[in-house]
């Protein structure tokens, strides 16, 4: 869960681009085929950043998932990573089967980007493939070993399984609450809450808001916003982190309260959250 | 020990703090004392690149209030960008109308969304009773124009802040500029119909309820009092961290 201030202070999708180069859709699509690998990499990012969900863009990005030209010295696939990230943002489920294919890629970051984008696209057809990767981190004996297992993008996998409501696989998610890495534990708690709606998992995240490390508190703010755990509202408002991040987290709680339609009436919870948000502006 | 002696001791503790935690504690102590002599030291603490200390200093400056306004306005011209952002937050919290031009400019043009957000909020917490009656209409109109513009900001959180301020302004001008009030209700309705962000639309709906409670059934918060939306209310930032 990358929840950094850079991301918060990100440009708005207004079409003006302070990163140096302004593109048109046609240019971006042409640049994906350019001989200049830098232009390709940037174009893939740009198409996702500005949500260019046109069929031509989706087709071109799916093709870029097979790219062989752009390689890092370690064997990574930078263009594939950006294409996978962009496809999640474009919301076109045509990309699902190709992204599932990316879960077998040798590049960890391609696998991670694919899992995150599959979560965004929300098609449960990818659940078995996500579980296959997650199972690498099981059985539990391996988890408790001294060496944290970093072979798979567990955070992204767990978050996707929670969002996709893969309830039949709850027993495979639960052991990751004991993972040696805190970020993975939080991702597991987040997923367990989404899969079971049991407050104990929300409370686990609330406790983590009192932790020592700012980076971890930021991640937990994002998790609580994602699951909309209302009892966390006061703890979110009081934790030591940037107001920008608290406001986004509280907005997640608020939106869960009003169920994705503009409400005709307000619950007490919604009013409480809005008052907290007002106080953080 | 009188206030002045206490201030000297607490100020020295800030100056001699040799770790970020000690600095945070010392600034919190000084802020809590609420002594006017502390203003320059608290303002200096906005520039230490220590977010915790800056939050405590902002809270302290807001508590001290009017005596801090003039030094804060001088700081705005400073080159230290980080300190400038904190100063905007403190001014927004104090609500003194001397900060009006600074808040207007920051809300419209600052490149940092968190500064625009704080300034937009500050435009809704101005203490109108400080304004000479003959100037009230023109200044309220100026704030109204600015808020209508800011409520179209690309960032959801800036639009959200603008909505909170349109709400308080609508209640304030009901008495002074009733013929302008429809501009606010129209803008809010347009946002309710078209804003892409559910959180913003929800806050708009809530603002509509507060502005015209008589037009809606009391279906929520039956204990709500109109005092909740007192225009002179200063948002308390005790929980604020940046």
The verdict on a CB contact (< 8 Å) between B160 and A277 is yes
Q: What is the mean pLDDT of chain B?
A: 85
Residues of chain B neighbouring A12 (CB-CB closer than 8 A): 154-155
Mutate to test the interface with A, among B119, B123, B205 (most CBs of A within 10 A): B205
Average pLDDT over residues A182-206: 97
Residues of chain A neighbouring B201 (CB-CB closer than 8 A): 262
The half-sphere exposure of B95 on its side-chain side, counting CA atoms within 13 A, is 21
* Contact with chain B for residue A268, Cβ under 8 A: yes
* Contact with chain B for residue A12, Cβ under 8 A: yes
Chain A: residue nearest B236 by CA? A279
Whether residue B109 has pLDDT greater than 80? yes
Report residue A263 as tokens: 């409400």
At B78 the pLDDT is 64
At A92 the pLDDT is 97
CB neighbours of residue A144 within 10 Å: 11
Burial profile A15-42: b = 16 or more Cβ within 10 angstroms, e = fewer: eeeeeeeebeeeebbebbeeeeeebbbb
Nearest chain B Cα distance for residue A81, angstroms: 27
pLDDT in tens, B172-206: 998 888 889 999 999 999 999 999 999 999 999 99
With beta carbons less than 8 A apart as the criterion, state whether B14 and B50 touch.
no
* Contact with chain B for residue A260, Cβ under 8 A: yes
Q: Write out residues 53-112 of A within 8 Å (CB-CB) of B.
A: none
Q: Which of B114, B209, B236 shows the shortest C-beta gap to A279? A: B236
Nearest chain A Cα distance for residue B2, angstroms: 33
Of residues B19 and A147, the one with the higher pLDDT is B19
The verdict on a CB contact (< 8 Å) between B154 and A240 is no
With beta carbons less than 8 A apart as the criterion, state whether A224 and A250 touch.
no
Residues of chain B neighbouring A268 (CB-CB closer than 8 A): 220-221
Nearest chain A Cα distance for residue B77, angstroms: 23
Whether residue B238 has pLDDT greater than 70? no
| Least confident among A64-78, A222-236, B99-113, B218-232 | B218-232
Q: Which of A247, A266, A278 shows the shortest C-beta gap to B220? A: A266
At B236 the pLDDT is 43
Report residue B215 as tokens: 């037009």
| Least confident among A98-102, B185-189, B229-233 | B229-233
Percent of chain B with pLDDT over 70: 86
With beta carbons less than 8 A apart as the criterion, state whether A219 and B218 touch.
no
Closest CA to B123 of B92, B167, B94, B150: B92
* Contact with chain B for residue A26, Cβ under 8 A: no
Closest CA to A108 of A74, A143, A148: A74
Q: CB under 8 Å to B188, separation ≥6 — which residues?
A: B163, B166, B204, B207, B208, B211
At B81 the pLDDT is 72
Residues of chain B neighbouring A253 (CB-CB closer than 8 A): none
Q: How far apart are CA A237 and CA B215, in angstroms?
A: 32
- Per-residue pLDDT band for A17 (boundaries 50, 70, 90) equals very low
Whether residue B23 has pLDDT greater than 80? yes
At B227 the pLDDT is 42
The verdict on a CB contact (< 8 Å) between B164 and A254 is no
pLDDT in tens, A34-51: 999 999 999 999 999 999
Chain A: residue nearest B218 by CA? A265
At A99 the pLDDT is 98
Whether residue A66 has pLDDT greater than 90? yes
Chain A: residue nearest B90 by CA? A281
One-letter-per-residue 3-state SS of chain B = CCHHHHHHHHHHHHHHCCCHHHHHHHHHHHHHHCCHHHHHHHHHHCCCCCHHHHHHHHHHHHHHCHHHHHHHHHHHCCCCHHHHHHHHHHHHHHCCHHHHHHHHHHHHHCCCHHHHHHHHHHHCCCCHHHCCHHHHHHHHHHHHHHHHHHCCCCCHHHHHHHHHHHHHHHHHHHHHCHHHHHHHHHHHHHHHHHCCCHHHHHHHHHHHHHHCHHHCCCCCCCCCCHHHHCCCCCCCCCCCCC
The verdict on a CB contact (< 8 Å) between A242 and B160 is no
The verdict on a CB contact (< 8 Å) between A265 and B237 is no
Q: Which of A238, A260, A276 shows the shortest C-beta gap to B198? A: A260
CA distances from A184 to A66, A166, A190, B5, B19 (A): 29, 18, 10, 52, 32
The verdict on a CB contact (< 8 Å) between A240 and B203 is no
Residues of chain A neighbouring B192 (CB-CB closer than 8 A): 262
């Amino acid at each position: 869960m990358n929840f950094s201030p850079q991301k918060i202070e990100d440009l708005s999708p207004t079409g003006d681009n302070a990163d140096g180069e302004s593109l048109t859709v046609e240019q971006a699509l042409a640049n994906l085929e350019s001989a200049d690998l830098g232009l390709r990499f940037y174009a893939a990012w740009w198409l996702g950043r500005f949500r260019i969900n046109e069929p031509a863009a989706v087709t071109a990005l799916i093709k870029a998932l097979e790219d062989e030209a752009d390689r890092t010295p370690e064997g990574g696939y930078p263009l594939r990573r950006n294409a996978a990230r962009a496809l999640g943002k474009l919301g076109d489920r045509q990309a699902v089967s190709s992204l599932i294919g990316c879960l077998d890629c040798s590049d960890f970051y391609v696998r991670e980007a694919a899992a995150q984008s599959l979560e965004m696209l929300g098609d449960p057809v990818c659940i078995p493939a996500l579980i296959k990767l997650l199972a690498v981190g099981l059985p539990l004996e391996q988890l408790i070993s001294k060496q944290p297992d970093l072979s798979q993008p567990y955070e992204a996998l767990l978050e996707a399984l929670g969002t996709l409501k893969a309830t039949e696989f709850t027993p495979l998610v639960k052991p990751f609450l004991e993972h040696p890495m805190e970020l993975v534990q939080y991702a597991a708690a987040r997923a367990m809450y989404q899969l079971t709606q049991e407050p104990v998992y929300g409370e686990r995240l609330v406790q983590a808001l009192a932790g020592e490390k700012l980076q971890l508190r930021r991640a937990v703010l994002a998790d609580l916003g994602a699951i909309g755990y209302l009892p966390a509202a006061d703890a979110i408002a009081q934790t030591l982190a940037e107001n920008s991040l608290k406001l986004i987290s509280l907005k997640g709680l608020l939106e869960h309260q009003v169920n994705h339609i503009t409400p005709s009436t307000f619950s007490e919870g919604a009013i409480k959250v809005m008052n907290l948000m007002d106080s953080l502006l | 020990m009188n206030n002045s002696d206490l201030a000297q001791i607490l100020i020295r503790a800030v100056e001699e703090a040799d770790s970020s935690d000690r600095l945070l504690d010392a600034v919190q102590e000084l802020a809590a004392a609420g002594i006017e002599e502390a203003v320059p030291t608290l303002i200096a603490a906005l520039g230490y690149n220590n977010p915790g200390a800056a939050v405590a200093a902002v809270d302290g400056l807001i508590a001290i209030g009017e005596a801090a306004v003039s030094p804060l306005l001088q700081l705005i011209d400073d080159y230290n960008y980080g300190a400038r952002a904190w100063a905007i937050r403190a001014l927004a919290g104090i609500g003194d109308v001397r900060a009006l031009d600074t808040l207007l400019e920051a809300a419209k043009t600052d490149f940092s969304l968190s500064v625009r957000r704080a300034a937009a909020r500050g435009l809704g917490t101005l203490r109108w009773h400080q304004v000479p009656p003959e100037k009230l209409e023109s200044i309220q109109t100026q704030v109204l124009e600015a808020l209508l513009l800011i409520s179209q900001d690309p960032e959801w959180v800036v639009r959200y802040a603008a909505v909170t301020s349109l709400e308080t302004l609508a209640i304030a001008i009901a008495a002074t500029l009733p013929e302008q009030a429809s501009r606010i209700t129209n803008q809010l309705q347009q946002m309710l119909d078209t804003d892409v962000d559910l959180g913003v639309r929800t806050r708009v709906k809530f603002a509509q309820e507060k502005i015209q409670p008589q037009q809606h059934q009391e279906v929520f918060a039956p204990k709500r009092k109109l005092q909740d939306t007192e225009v002179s209310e200063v948002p308390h930032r005790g929980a604020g961290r940046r």
